[in-house]
C-alpha cells in the first residue's frame, strides 16, 4: 500500500474515531460525581461483560497479535530493524482495513473497537518513524492488551511478556 492510500485509510479511520468521540461527548449526560473531563471516550465493558466479537474481528486481531508476537523479543530489546518495523506497520494497517471493511458489530461494541483501532493506527504510523518505531510497537501491544481485556474472543491468546 503506497503512502497516499495509507494516509487516506488513516484519515478515514481517524475521522470515524473522532466522530465517535464527538458523538459520545454530546450524547453523554453530565455526571458531576464521575467526571472524566472534556468528554473523552474511554474503553469500558458491556455492563460488566466483555463485548461480543465477530469472525473478521477475531481473524484480524489474531493476525496482528501473531505478527507482533513474532517480533516481540526484538521490539522489547530495541533490536528490531527499521524494515521490520515498516513491515509490521503495514501488517497492522492492512488488518485494520480488513477489520473496518468486514466487521459487523453492534454499535456500542463498534464504538469501543474504534478506540482500539485508533491506538493500532497511531502505533502503526509511529512504527514507520525512525525515532518512534519502538513506541509505536508498544502502542500496538497496548491495543492488543485492551482487546483481550474488553472483547470476548475465547480463542485469542494474549502476548506473553
Provide the pLDDT for residue 130.
77
18 domain-assigned: yes
In a domain, residue 33? The reply is no
Query: Distances in Å between the alpha carbon of 113 and those of 13, 43, 118, 124, 138?
Result: 12, 9, 9, 16, 18
- Measured CA to CA in angstroms, residue 41 lies from 9, 28, 33, 54, 112 at distances of 22, 10, 17, 23, 9
Residue 41 domain-assigned (yes or no) = no
pTM: predicted TM-score of the whole model, two decimal places: 0.76
- Structural domain includes residue 40: no
pLDDT computed for residue 57 by the predictor: 97
Q: How many domains does the chain divide into? A: 1
**Inside any domain, residue 157:** no
Q: Is 158 contained in some domain?
A: no
Instruction: Determine the structural domain holding residue 130 and report its residue range.
Output: 3-26+50-150
Predicted pLDDT at 19: 40
Does 88 fall in a domain?
yes
Per-residue exposure over 112-140, b if at least 16 CB sit within 10 Å of its own CB, e if not: bbbbbbbbbbbbbbbbbeeebbbebbbbb
Q: What is the pLDDT along the chain (161 residues), one digit of tens a residue?
A: 443 444 444 444 444 443 433 433 323 333 333 333 344 489 999 999 999 999 999 999 999 999 999 999 999 999 999 999 999 999 999 999 999 999 999 999 999 999 999 999 999 999 998 789 999 999 999 999 999 999 999 999 999 87
pLDDT the model gives residue 22 = 40
Model pLDDT, residue 129: 86
In a domain, 159, yes or no: no
Amino acid at each position: 500500500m503506497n503512502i497516499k492510500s495509507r494516509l487516506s485509510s488513516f484519515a478515514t479511520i481517524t475521522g470515524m474515531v473522532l466522530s465517535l468521540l464527538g458523538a459520545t461527548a454530546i450524547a453523554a449526560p453530565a455526571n458531576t460525581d464521575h467526571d472524566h473531563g472534556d468528554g473523552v471516550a474511554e474503553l469500558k465493558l458491556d455492563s460488566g461483560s466483555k463485548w461480543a466479537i465477530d469472525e473478521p474481528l477475531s481473524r484480524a486481531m489474531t493476525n496482528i497479535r501473531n505478527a507482533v508476537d513474532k517480533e516481540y523479543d526484538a521490539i522489547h530489546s530495541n533490536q528490531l530493524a527499521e524494515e521490520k518495523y515498516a513491515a509490521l506497520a503495514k501488517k497492522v494497517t492492512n488488518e485494520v482495513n480488513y477489520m473496518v471493511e468486514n466487521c459487523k458489530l453492534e454499535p456500542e461494541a463498534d464504538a469501543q473497537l474504534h478506540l482500539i483501532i485508533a491506538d493500532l493506527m497511531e502505533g502503526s504510523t509511529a512504527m514507520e518513524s525512525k525515532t518512534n518505531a519502538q513506541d509505536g510497537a508498544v502502542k500496538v501491544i497496548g491495543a492488543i492488551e485492551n482487546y483481550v481485556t474488553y472483547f470476548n474472543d475465547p480463542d485469542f491468546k494474549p502476548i506473553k511478556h
